[in-house]
Structure 1
């Protein structure tokens, strides 16, 4: 397998996760019925922040390669680590996509149940899945892959709090001041 394939798959998963993180940072902040533009803007904000934060693992991988005595072997180990990192994330992404597909395909009540049972708990499991992915990277390739995987995991976990604080925290502050003055 071409070593670029797992890296590209991880990048796509990271950017998709960043877009969902932007949406989650915005979710519940707006009571309007038609908010497609705001949802799209929130997802794009998450995507933009994710694109920047995902530079960190790429730079870390570059540093690991530059510091290695045998760069070809280090590259091979990083590629193996990427596969070990990708497997749990791909299973997690499949579960999320299955829940979303059920929401859109099933009747209203069953689709709503799929959303409550699927993405809600799965969102809480994101850090655990990233930890398992780090173990997969380490088991396949050692400390260099673990370092790159940990930096990548921290990068994707930082997107939602950053988007929330940068664009949506003011809304909560305004709500609190309105309630305090009422």
Structure 2
């Protein structure tokens, strides 16, 4: 199984959330669904462009490899290693979001403070663990692609913030 599609989906969803986070707290209006959606779409667009970098690096590694089948297997193993820690992190975020949306007001506020707040701060360490797992599973080529993907994912929010919400 190639982990490219789940990693791409995870990266794009993360980019949309990063766009939302770049906008969050900037507007005091009560009804801001349209602005939230626009911010998420901006994050998605920026993330899609930035995530082309690790995709192109993977393609270049495969095109320049002496043994493309072995290089593909190495990148797939590294991608799977990269995916596993991020899947656990994403599950924790989804659980916190479900609690936020499904619980009564006080409990949902607690879910945001106890879950989503700390998870936002744990995002860079989770990505670093994913890079380490890519290195352990696939070696240096996988680390290269993983580090480029990490840089892309962690750059979405600052780029969106600087471009639209300074």
- Give your verdict on TM over 0.5: yes
Question: Aligned Cα RMSD in Å?
Answer: 0.7
**By how many angstroms is 1:139 displaced?**
0.5
* TM alignment of 1:82-161, pairs within 5 A: 82-161=79-158
| Separation in structure 2 between the aligned mates of residue 105 and residue 30 of structure 1, nearest angstrom | 24
Larger radius of gyration: 1
From 63, 68, 72, the counterpart of 1:71: 68
- Hey, which bits of structure 1, 4+ residues long, moved more than 4 A? none
TM-score by length of 1: 0.90
**By how many angstroms is 1:30 displaced?**
0.3
| Separation in structure 1 between the aligned mates of residue 67 and residue 95 of structure 2, nearest angstrom | 42
**By how many angstroms is 1:67 displaced?**
2.5
Check if 1:44 corresponds to 2:41.
Answer: yes
**For residue 177 of structure 1, what is the aligned residue in structure 2?**
none
Unaligned segments of structure 2, at least 5 residues: none
After superposing the two structures, state which structure 1 stretch, 115-124 or 150-159, moved more: 115-124
Unaligned segments of structure 1, at least 5 residues: 170-182
